[in-house]
Chain A
Amino acid sequence: MMPRIRALRPPLTVAVMIRVVSAAAGLWLSGCNVFSPLAADADRDLNYRGLILKGNAAINDEQYADALYYFTRAKEMNPKGAEAYLYQSKALVSLYKIDYNTLNNEFNLRRGKTVNGLPPKSGLPFIDSITSLEGIDSIYYPVAQSVENLEHILRHKLDTILVPGGVNLYPDGDTAGDGRVTEGVARLDLGLLQTIKGMLGPLDLDGNNRIDAECGVNLCPNRDAACMSGARYMRNCKEGLLSEAVGFERFKNLTRSLDINNPSTKDIRARQLTANPNDINEFLDRMSGPIGSSTFNLDSVTGAMNSHNEGELSGQLSEIVSNVQDLSNFLSYMRFNDNLDNDFDSQDSSGKGVRMVWHDYDKDNSIHWDYDDDEVTLKGYLGAGANGEARNLGHPLHRRLHPELYVKFTDSSWTKRKTAQEASMNARKAAMIKRCQDVARTLTVDGLVTQQVIDDVIAATCLTYTSFIKSTVRPPAKSDWQRGTAGIDEEMIDDHDNDYDGLTDEDARNAPGMDDDNDALLNKTMIGADPAPMAWADAAGHGNSCPDIDVTVPMPPQPMQRKFCIGSLEHRIYLAQHGGSDTLKLYYSKFLGEGGDGNCLEDYRKLPQAYRDSARQESPTDKDFANAIEDACRFKHIWIRGIPSDSEWKSGVFGVDEEFPDGVDNDGDGWIDEDAK
């Protein structure tokens, strides 16, 4: 029997009809596309424009992962679509919660400011000792990908973009050239993001925009042994799959003390990265590309703002611009000991001059030109305070009083350098002039130093004379300058601009006979003669790679075997525990605000756990032990007591070439093998 269909249907009542009509009217009045539900698979069939629209709707709904999906599809569908690149970047940074304020606050924190109640920090933005690999990747990945996208948009005409400083952006082929995103939209964000990419980029060894525990998987997708032992893989991931992970841990140590207000090679600790100069220089090169490009982009933006009298907007960017400029300038001279004229101050443009050797006999962190001249040319000028520095090579007043010694900015020995045409060179000149004028402003009216003299130095001398000494000038008989060519690797690891050229520690060089780490006990009686290098060797039964104070006393067992070594941190802690500051000051020189005490505390944390546990037992309480460490770190490793009679130190001056190329921090100064030749 046929079913009675009519009977199975619900009755079409007025109420049902009203509901149907209401639903239809509701859909119509909602303003939605009433055809959309008719599409079988609207999402799959979306065209490029549809994907952009969907992605933007997802962004407005804060569904960033969905937005990323749509924009990635849009990129694949239309590689010339600039909006797809821009908005993919927006989705990425939103997904990873990176925004302008985060960036700004991170920079401000590293500039010694308190932000949102958080104390100032040293080091690079986003990197702390507790930052995990995943944590840094979550910053780097969206930033690097966004930089790639924005660069792709800017290169819309297959042009090579020339960036001052010798860094060029070459066309990368199929560019996003549909013109839907203007240069002005992309450039500011690109400049900001490049600063982060510049700082973290060297850690991305395989160039896949990730810093992760799978280095080179993009190079060897199958992870087969043959590929991963090949030259290409090994060139990028020397330490295997974990190369980036290991590199990141090292990088944290390298940069933890960096102060971007005042970058110093000592803070960057480049030589703890690797013993290979090429590695470090390559690392710096990879940083300098994005940093240089960032400088260019941010300069363009602030220039445009200023030209439209938008000083308030450009002012908000000025600090970041200044940070990047500092970092850019810093990188241009922060090179490993490669015997080249990295900071452009060599008197021999070939970079093959004989290294300058000097000793800071008067311990003023500067190169005293001529002790005999103080009472001749300089008489009447060397008053109290800052005026007394006028005796030093490179000092602005010294330049004025001894112009015959100095190279002018118009001299060919300055202008002929091949780097003279580069932006970094211009920055170098600017830094030198600024430093000169800053120093000149510290002069006080006293004796022959009149206000007119000070004004002339600022307005004329600093703009005319470099801090570089002419190649024909030789050191006087009684000078800190001992031998070699002035300007070649003259700097010591001391955080000071010894030669008033506007740079701090740009070279950190070593040479035979030098007081490499400024810890020698020099005195004026040694002027004119090289101090004898420290001579010491481990005695039998004292094989601890550091100079023991008294070989008649048995060397303590592990892990305390360095407890009685001259200069060692373990010895300073021992003294602090058992005698306090009063005892320490009899043996060691105190930090006087140089800032190294923070490094000392970090050095303590690097000591073996077994030592720290044993040393703790020598203090009554944890608090006492902590106080002892703080006391110890108020003192440098510099020994001030002369040669102990029964020590392993046999002759010479402490601090002069005391290090052996043995990979051990022999004197506890936190530096390994700074002298290794």
Chain B
Amino acid sequence: MSRSSALSAALLCSVLLSAMADSRAEDGPQYRDPKSQSLGRTGVASSQGGTALYLNPAALGREEGGGMGLSMDLGLNSVLLDYAAWASDNRQYLDNMDSLLARIGPVDNKWAPFSQSLLLYGNWQGVAFSALVDTRYKVTVARAVLTPVLGVGALSDVVLTAGKGFRADYGYRFGFALKYIHRSRFEDRLIGATDDPFYTAKKALENPDDGWSGTFAKLGVAGEIAESSQGAGLNLGAEKDLNQDWTAGLSLIDFPTIIDQAFTRPDINLGLSYHHGVQWMTDLENKVLVNLDWQRFLIPGTPWFKQLKMGAALEGYLNKRPVGYIGIGINDGYPTFGLRFGYLVYLSYVYVAEEVGTYPGQEKLSFHKIGLEAEF
């Protein structure tokens, strides 16, 4: 790269950063595949296949053959279960302030979250595409100052992504991903008696509970009152194999991404991955994977927007195809855990906790995610 090209790139970066430098900006799509979540949401230097589009597109340059896959997961939280039990017993009091206030204690301002994601992807010779539906809903009943109000939050992204990775000399890889985003969003907030969404949410909560489907249908009200927007964006990435066991990665996610004529919050990710083959189990090829990632949101004046993540996994392969892994991690201080088993079709479980900090009443958000995946 010539000196003038480097200067131009630096200038472009600074212009982009200044344009995006708004701490009130929304996040872009925050999808992570189950394995990344198991390992503390790491993977900047170890992602594979179509999921690399979201972590580091440079990883696509590593792919020689092709493949396709499907990943679905459903995230539940103990608060959701508590809340569902409470709502089942107390929904009839939503019309009576006295009674509701007397019973509101167990759920007061405790948000019940629910997540669901579906990813379909394919890749061939360094080119990849994916279609993603990633949804998070939240509902709560709370006391504002004196009277009860409802809380609703929704963030649902439909993301179509295509990208390409390149190999370069000296073990370098570069990549990019372009994405189209259709977003439905209702920013997490309390709503009260002069807000129309209050009545939509109230009616949904008043519906009789008929098991899990009924509970999810209630949470779905968040989607009904969400406002939709569209956008497009770019992810950039670079990777370098330091040696046979070590890989370093750098990605610029949402750099830039614009949704509804506003820049989303870009972030820079640095990752270091140790991957080493071992023979701990007979008949299986084993690999130890250790990741260390550092993420910084590129918003000046917001020093707290940085996260350190780490994770480790033991993977098993049979005839070069994965058959399972078990992994643990720490996501900016919060624990994660996951495991997956199968052949071509997999069942997975992930426990992930994270600092969300976008709504009150909750320091961390944790999910138990049950997943079904297929890889070909």
Contact = CB atoms under 8 A, between A and B. Distances in A.
Nearest to A36: B333
B335 A31 contact: yes
A126 to B, nearest CB: 14
Contact of B193 (A56, A89, A179, A313): A313
Contacts of B355: 33
Interface in B330-376: 330, 332-335, 353, 355, 357, 360-364, 366
B190 A60 contact: no
Interface in B105-132: 108-110
A605 interface: no
B96 A312 contact: yes
Interface in A147-183: 150, 179-183
B342 to A, nearest CB: 26
Contact of A34 (B96, B194, B330): B330
Give the interface centre of B146, B202, B333, B360 by most chain A CB atoms within 10 Å: B146
B335 A93 contact: no
B334 A33 contact: yes
A451 to B, nearest CB: 40
Contacts of A31: 334-335, 353, 364, 366
B333 A183 contact: no
B97 A305 contact: no
Contact of A187 (B194, B334, B364, B366): B194
A180 B359 CA distance: 9
A591 interface: no
A308 B108 contact: no
A301 B360 contact: no
A189 B190 CA distance: 13
Query: Majority SS of interface residues in chain A?
Result: helix
Contact of A90 (B145, B195, B330): B145
A16 interface: no
Nearest to B351: A31
Given A34-B330, A36-B333, A184-B191, A189 B363 contact: no
Interface residues of B, number: 44
Contacts of A146: 145
Given A93-B145, A183-B194, A316-B96, A52 B332 contact: no
A203 interface: no
B109 A59 contact: yes
A313 B97 contact: yes
Contacts of A180: 187, 189
Contact of B108 (A60, A93, A179): A60
Nearest to B329: A28
A269 to B, nearest CB: 31
Nearest to B95: A312
B104 to A, nearest CB: 11
Interface string A19-49: 0000000001101111110000000000101
Contact of B194 (A50, A52, A87, A301): A301
Contacts of B366: 31
Contacts of A50: 304, 357
Nearest to B361: A56
A57 interface: yes
A322 interface: no
B190 A185 contact: yes
A662 interface: no
A60 B333 contact: no
A304 interface: yes
A87 B96 CA distance: 23
Contacts of A32: 334
A175 B364 CA distance: 29
A101 interface: yes
Interface in B277-293: none
Contact of A305 (B143, B193, B361, B362): B193
A192 interface: yes
Contacts of B362: 53, 56
B198 A184 contact: yes
B109 A60 contact: yes
Given A36-B333, A60-B110, A93 B95 contact: no
Interface residues on A, range: 35 or more
B193 A103 contact: no
Contact of A184 (B95, B143, B187, B192): B192
Contact of A35 (B102, B143, B190, B333): B333
A188 interface: yes
B98 interface: yes
A552 to B, nearest CB: 67
A179 B188 CA distance: 11
Contacts of B149: 184-185
Contacts of A301: 193-194
> Which residue, A29, A55, A182, has most C-beta atoms of chain B within 10 A?
A182
Contacts of A187: 192-194
A182 B191 contact: yes
Contacts of A55: 360
Contact of B98 (A53, A56, A87, A100): A100
| Most chain A beta-carbon neighbours within 10 Å: one of B145, B147, B192, B362 | B145
A600 interface: no
A89 B361 contact: no
A24 B145 CA distance: 40
A104 interface: yes
A150 B145 contact: yes
B332 to A, nearest CB: 7
A101 B98 contact: yes
A93 B330 contact: no
Nearest to B203: A308
Q: Chain B CB within 10 Å — which of A33, A52, A93, A192 has the most?
A: A33
A304 B145 contact: no
Most chain A C-beta atoms within 10 Å of own C-beta, residue among B108, B192, B334, B366: B192
B101 interface: yes
A527 interface: no
B13 interface: no
A99 B101 CA distance: 9
A483 B43 CA distance: 96
Contact of B360 (A52, A186, A192, A313): A52
B199 interface: yes
Nearest to B357: A49
B144 interface: yes
B144 A33 contact: no
B147 A188 contact: yes
A186 B190 CA distance: 10
Contacts of B191: 182, 184-185
B335 A29 contact: yes
Contacts of B202: 310
A204 interface: no
A103 B147 CA distance: 11
A300 B195 CA distance: 11
B278 to A, nearest CB: 22
Interface string B148-160: 0100000000000
A393 to B, nearest CB: 44
A577 to B, nearest CB: 50
Contacts of B334: 31-34
20 contacts: A28-B328, A28-B330, A33-B334, A34-B333, A34-B335, A35-B330, A52-B360, A53-B357, A53-B363, A60-B108, A60-B109, A83-B360, A86-B190, A93-B146, A100-B97, A100-B98, A101-B102, A180-B189, A181-B190, A185-B195
Interface of B: 95-98, 101-102, 108-110, 143-147, 149, 187, 189-196, 198-199, 202, 304, 308, 328, 330, 332-335, 353, 355, 357, 360-364, 366
Given A35-B333, A93-B146, A185-B149, 13 more contacts: A28-B330, A33-B363, A34-B330, A35-B308, A57-B361, A57-B363, A60-B109, A60-B110, A86-B190, A187-B194, A188-B194, A301-B193, A308-B196
